[in-house]
Structure 1
Amino acid sequence: MNVKKVISFGKIKTDLTKHASASSSSTVEGFGTFSKQISPNNYTDINEINPEDEEETRSLQEVMGMTSFGKKAKCFDVQEMLDNITKTVRTSKSVHSVPALVEQNHKLENASGAKEDKTKTNDNEPSSLVPLNTNPLNPSICKQTNNSDDDDDEDEDGNDSDDSEDRQDTSTNKIPCSHEVEMHHGSKAVIAIAADPSGARLASGSVDYDVCFWDFAGMDTSLKSFRTLQPCENHPIKCLQYSTTGDVILVVSGAAQAKVLDRDGFEKCETVKGDQYITDMARTKGHTAALNSGCWHPYTKEEYMTCSQDSTCRIWILYKPRAHKNLIKCRAQNGVKTIPTTCAYSREGSVVACGCADGSIQMWDHRKNFVNTSLLLRGAHKPCSEISSLSFSYLGNLLASRGCDDTLKLWDLRSFKSPIFTANDLFSRYDTTDCMFSPDDSMVITGESLRKGQSSGRVLFFNTKTFDLVNEICVTNSHVIKTLWHPKLNQIFVSCGNGVVKTYYDPKKSLRGAKLCVVKSHHKQKHIEIMSTQQIITPHALPLFRQDRPKSVRKQMEKDRLDPVKSHRPDLPITSGQGGRVASSGGTLSSYVIRNLGLSKRIEDDQDPREAILKYAKDAAENPYWISPAYQKTQPKTIFQSENEDDGPSSSKKQKT
């Protein structure tokens, strides 16, 4: 006997003996089922297609003329694509590359025709062929086909030479040097220049201890600085640099203390000077010898670094100038001290680099303690010749160094053992001659001092890939010391040994900067023109015909100044007095009021006030004017209380009248 097994929970029950399909179709009492019912149309059976069936289907479609229905392979117009490719080719290419392009077009046509025939003959086969990626807007196809052909080696060599010429032309066109502006700092060499990140202002420092501030938006064609000051007294200005925000500027001079100024030249802070009698530099809070260079951190706006003749490099915080944050000691190969002549941060601020007097380049990791170097290269430049500048590329892989051994070297930080390129015979007279990268890292710029017998100093541009001399600018008949290519303005600032700061720009490629001031006309001051006439001296002439002697303007101004009417002189204060009063006429408020009431008689302040009042007592009794007429109607007769001495003390009650 089969007993049905039923499991029930409340009003929900199920029968375990029924099939799943039957249970799904059976009615359910109570609340129904908790799970979602699966519709029978959610899945389809996948039937495998055999190659024989597919071939039979294709043959049937050909017999019935239905091959054109359905999906169709794309057809490409090769001639139109080749025309588009030729349009994208640069117009600056020479005519020699045209025959190679024509041959390449014929090859593409033949290859495309052969592939079309092949696709037509293989219609019966499965369509597993993929069309070529012949995008008409992608010129890289031409390069790939040229590289795949082995018969056109000579044409490729010619194209490569043309491309190198085009690269030189394009790199030359990138240099904004079509126009120039000359600004005069002074008569001595300008060995430091700095521009703020926005490009609104320029600062220049010289060996004559002056720092000049130039505002491009406020200057006119006279090109005069709006402020000149001596922040470090009698010390030459060696380095200037604006912070990343542009609100303050770091001033490094020949003194042992660096200063930070605001945009208007007012001092914000000054680093502390160390104790020069302590040999261990780690135990002093500041530098003890003259500074050489300094720079700001590229991202931390309060941090800056200075290096000094005391063989140390110190990192400071802007609002904590009483002690350094970190100390770096530069050591030579034998372990003794060596002097860091220049210092720099990497573009991301993770590396601190110093160029030393022994010709070595030493680097430390900013994220670790500054004990051991992360990169060290001895003999990067000649020993006993100062390294005047270190500059990191914007991408951060390259490093350029300028030395007083008349060389400019380019280094790869990934293989920091030998320089990639070296440029020799670049005379440098000043130990602040620098080098820098162009904004796109395609060129390295440096200045050359004036040799004996030469006529002008030059700014040199070297290609970073080949280190060929791309361009040179003859600046002036003096030394070229500092160069600065501003990335936002796209203008080049050059400081010279004769006190001149030159700005090179292009009206089409450059923005703001010097373009703002060259269009403003200079308004001259109006000068007073005096016509000189012939003077006839007649000492005995009558007063009517006598001529006054000509007086100078200065004497006439002095005479007018003494005239109280012409000079609008205010009333002089009362300085003298008598009788305990301020002057005889009276300086008190009451005397001033009495004088201005229009009284006929003047009151003398020197009298006794009681006597002055009693003088009018008789007149007031005979001719009453103020008080007596007011009481005539209400009190015609005055009554006074009588007191008798015999009666004793008077009572408080009033007498009856």
Structure 2
Amino acid sequence: MGDQEESDVAATMGFSGFGKKARTFDLEAMFEQTRRTAIERSRKALEASEQENLKPKEALLPQQVGSHSVLCSSVTKKVSSSSGSSNSGSSESDESTDEETIDPPMPPRQGKPVSAEDPDELIGPPLPPGYKDSDDDDDDEDLQEEEEENPVKRIPDSHEITLQHGSKTVSALGLDPSGARLVTGGYDYDVKFWDFAGMDASLQAFRSLQPCECHQIKTLQYSSTGDVILVVAGSSQAKVLDRDGFQVMECVKGDQYMVDMAKTKGHTSMLHNGCWHPKIKEEFLTCSNDGTVRTWDVNSEKGHKNVFKPRSMQGKRVIPTACTYSRDGKLIAAGCQDGSIQLWDRNVNVHTKFHCRQAHAPGTDTSCLAFSYCGTVLATRGGDDTLKTWDMRNFKKPLNVVSGLTSFFPMADCCFSPDDKLIVTGTSVKKDSGSGKLLFFERETFQKVYEIEVTDASVVRCLWHPKLNQIMVGTGNGLAKVYYDPVKSQRGAKLCVVKTKRKDKQAETLTQDYIITPHALPMFREPRQRSTRKQLEKDRLDPLKSHKPEPPVAGPGRGGRVGTHGGTLSSFIVKNIALDKTDDSNPREAILRHAKDAEENPYWVAPAYSVTQPNTVFAEVESDEDEPHDEPEWKKRKI
């Protein structure tokens, strides 16, 4: 009776039909349905994997395997929240299927598109946003494996730009660690600065200078921090410049009359090479024709820090032509003219730590020493047209040798690729005898895997920047080329090629403004000039506009200007002498003309003696007749 009264009250109040019955679930039926679906999907997945010969872990995704447990847990939570208020069984759930459900629908699956033919794909949680099918992963892995197997694919040579340094050989290249600025030096004594971010498509250097006057530039290198540049030229003094080309430090010159070069504070002969320490930003290294290798500190200009003296097998002095630091900065290597390669510990300069006496042909200039990025392999470019690699753990014989690489320059380069799998060097050619090439050798087998024809001149310098992944080349005809790839390379040359060339600013000519009034009479109207030539001719006739010089002044002068004659004392005297008509042939008579006037009106001499000597007393001159004849001959007056 109570339930009937409550229903009557609800009907009377008008809210009996507002609410909807909560959906109820049969747990045992849902678990059974989920178990069957999981078994069916697992069977399909296994059949598909057997047909496509795929691995089991690739055929059945982890998300699909764990989807049933997630679904069951969500169903359990939902049922537990609604089981307390619902007492009806499966009959009530069947009756409420046609009604609207309050619960949110299952989220659609992401990643692989859902097909209507495969309804099982609707079951399971969504895949992560970065999910890729196994087919895409296989393609990417294949590409990576292909690049690893073939290092030629990593060479950035699809595009190039050409920087015009000058007309003579580009003998030095330097690129800062960030890759923002390039500096080039050549046989024309010039050092030019190139800013990739500031250049446009015209590719013009923003600064050019001659830091070492009339000495050829041999080496340019940025420090490990990129704030200063080491300049090694043909002089005996290396210089350090800042990023804008201003001098920071200059090495002192040694005493060339000293026998022991270790006693002097600096080099006494021409420099050959130099480089910065890879770890200490203030220290750098130079080698010279005086037979020494010296280390320097930028903050100390009084002298070198340490000196190393390479010796021949007989203990005689030999000239080092190339020098470098190891990658960790603990070793100093030098290539000498007797064909030897000698290495010292950086802190011990007495004996060599490693040496090979017959690394290259005696009497040739070893032009370059380069350590690999791993630090265990040393590459040398010899003046005997060879390229060799050496293992630092067994320095007795070379690992690989390539001969026939023509080199005409004492600074021919070799360098390693950023992945340490290739070695790059250039070849020289005679004028009009072919093209200089950039050759790529595999480090392990020393097989030539690639080559680039650069230009119809020798390839002198080469530099492969690891951060930009771009190759810089200096040639014998004054060009600096940059090779890059839009996909594999970063910044550098890519920044300047996309900028359009700046237009030259036109010189603004100031023209005379004419005031034209609507009712001006023709007689007062200024004629408008149609050509500038006629206006220039009129200006030429005007003495003020044409700056006509003033004519000379006739007469004594006026207005502060000196006349043609008589303006100065000398001209006045010359004029009076020239115009004087008196005859001064007899000077005695000319003087005696004034004797009577001087006696009557004394002015110069007589007033001075009027008090002390009123009466004039003249010296008595004896005549020749009164002279005694006994006077010595030497006292007689000579006539």
Coarse TM-score class (shorter-chain normalised): 0.5 to 0.7
2:25 equivalent in structure 1: none
The 1:555/1:87 distance shift into structure 2, 3 A limit, reads farther
Q: CA deviation at 1:556?
A: 8.1
1:275 to 2:255 alignment:
yes
Q: CA deviation at 1:529?
A: 11
Q: CA deviation at 1:455?
A: 2.1
Letter paired with 1:400: A
Aligned to 2:371, which of 362, 383, 392? 392
1:518 to 2:489 alignment:
no
Question: Structure 2: how far apart are the matches of 1:259 and 1:274?
Answer: 15
2:418 equivalent in structure 1: 439
2:397 equivalent in structure 1: 418
1:459 equivalent in structure 2: 438
Letter paired with 2:229: I
Q: CA deviation at 1:328?
A: 0.4
2:486 equivalent in structure 1: 507
Aligned to 1:258, which of 232, 238, 244? 238
Letter paired with 1:296: W
1:494 equivalent in structure 2: 473
Letter paired with 1:260: V
Aligned to 1:347, which of 311, 327, 333? 327
2:343 equivalent in structure 1: 363
The 1:468/1:369 distance shift into structure 2, 3 A limit, reads same
The 1:316/1:545 distance shift into structure 2, 3 A limit, reads closer
Aligned to 1:550, which of 527, 530, 533? 533
Q: Which structure 2 residues correspond to residues 160-239 of structure 1 after superposition, within 5 A? A: 170-239=150-219
The 1:523/1:375 distance shift into structure 2, 3 A limit, reads same
Aligned to 2:54, which of 83, 97, 102? 83
- The answer to whether the 8 A contact 1:293-1:342 is kept is yes
The 1:549/1:323 distance shift into structure 2, 3 A limit, reads closer
Partner of 1:295, secondary structure, is strand
Q: CA deviation at 1:86?
A: 12
Q: CA deviation at 1:404?
A: 1.1
Q: CA deviation at 1:172?
A: 1.1
Question: Structure 2: how far apart are the matches of 1:546 and 1:301?
Answer: 68
- The answer to whether the 8 A contact 2:430-2:457 is kept is no
Question: Structure 2: how far apart are the matches of 1:302 and 1:323?
Answer: 14
Question: Structure 2: how far apart are the matches of 1:331 and 1:561?
Answer: 79
Partner of 2:467, secondary structure, is coil
Aligned to 1:473, which of 448, 452, 458? 452
Letter paired with 1:352: I
Question: Structure 1: how far apart are the matches of 2:427 and 2:163?
Answer: 20
- The answer to whether the 8 A contact 1:352-1:365 is kept is yes
- The answer to whether the 8 A contact 1:360-1:378 is kept is yes
- The answer to whether the 8 A contact 1:388-1:434 is kept is yes
Question: Structure 1: how far apart are the matches of 2:470 and 2:274?
Answer: 23
Q: CA deviation at 1:170?
A: 2.5
Letter paired with 2:322: T
Identity %: 53
Q: Deviations over 1:397-442 (max 9, x none)?
A: 1010001100000111111111111111000010100101011100
Q: Which structure 2 residues correspond to residues 113-128 of structure 1 after superposition, within 5 A? A: none
- The answer to whether the 8 A contact 2:174-2:221 is kept is yes
Q: CA deviation at 1:465?
A: 1.2
- The answer to whether the 8 A contact 2:241-2:249 is kept is yes
Aligned to 1:319, which of 279, 292, 299? 299
Question: Structure 2: how far apart are the matches of 1:451 and 1:296?
Answer: 33
1:117 equivalent in structure 2: none
The 1:86/1:486 distance shift into structure 2, 3 A limit, reads farther
Partner of 1:83, secondary structure, is coil
Question: Structure 2: how far apart are the matches of 1:561 and 1:272?
Answer: 59
Question: Structure 1: how far apart are the matches of 2:295 and 2:482?
Answer: 32
Q: Deviations over 1:189-246 (max 9, x none)?
A: 0010000000000000001100000000100000000000000000000000000000
Question: Structure 2: how far apart are the matches of 1:280 and 1:507?
Answer: 55
Partner of 2:321, secondary structure, is strand
Question: Structure 2: how far apart are the matches of 1:244 and 1:290?
Answer: 25
Partner of 1:233, secondary structure, is coil
Letter paired with 1:245: T
The 1:544/1:195 distance shift into structure 2, 3 A limit, reads closer
Q: Deviations over 1:604-639 (max 9, x none)?
A: xxxxxxxxxxxxxxxxxxxxxxxxxxxxxxxxxxxx
- The answer to whether the 8 A contact 1:494-1:503 is kept is yes
1:293 equivalent in structure 2: 273
2:282 equivalent in structure 1: 302
1:448 to 2:427 alignment:
yes
Question: Structure 2: how far apart are the matches of 1:554 and 1:434?
Answer: 64
Extract structure 1 runs of 4+ deviating beyond 3 A.
Answer: 75-82, 84-88, 165-169, 451-454, 526-530, 543-549, 551-557, 559-563
Question: Structure 1: how far apart are the matches of 2:184 and 2:395?
Answer: 34
Letter paired with 1:278: M
The 1:544/1:431 distance shift into structure 2, 3 A limit, reads closer
1:150 equivalent in structure 2: none
Letter paired with 1:459: L
The 1:555/1:269 distance shift into structure 2, 3 A limit, reads farther
1:401 equivalent in structure 2: 380
Letter paired with 2:458: H
Q: Deviations over 1:46-94 (max 9, x none)?
A: xxxxxxxxxxxxxxxxxxxxxxxxxxxxx99795795149999xxxxxx
Question: Structure 2: how far apart are the matches of 1:520 and 1:477?
Answer: 29
The 1:426/1:552 distance shift into structure 2, 3 A limit, reads farther
Partner of 2:150, secondary structure, is helix
1:331 equivalent in structure 2: 311
The 1:389/1:86 distance shift into structure 2, 3 A limit, reads farther
Q: CA deviation at 1:321?
A: 1.6
- The answer to whether the 8 A contact 2:376-2:392 is kept is yes
Single out whichever of 79-88 and 409-418 deviates more from structure 2: 79-88
Question: Structure 1: how far apart are the matches of 2:535 and 2:372?
Answer: 65
Q: Name the count of aligned residue pairs.
A: 406
Q: Deviations over 1:327-365 (max 9, x none)?
A: 100111111100000000000001000000111000001
Question: Structure 1: how far apart are the matches of 2:440 and 2:544?
Answer: 64
1:44 equivalent in structure 2: none
Letter paired with 1:373: T
Letter paired with 1:214: W
Question: Structure 2: how far apart are the matches of 1:351 and 1:255?
Answer: 26
The 1:466/1:166 distance shift into structure 2, 3 A limit, reads farther
- The answer to whether the 8 A contact 1:168-1:470 is kept is no
1:482 to 2:461 alignment:
yes
Structure 1 residues not aligned, in runs of 5+:
1-74, 89-161, 531-542, 564-575, 578-657
- The answer to whether the 8 A contact 1:311-1:330 is kept is yes
- The answer to whether the 8 A contact 2:292-2:319 is kept is yes
Structure 2 residues not aligned, in runs of 5+:
1-42, 60-141, 510-525, 547-558, 561-639
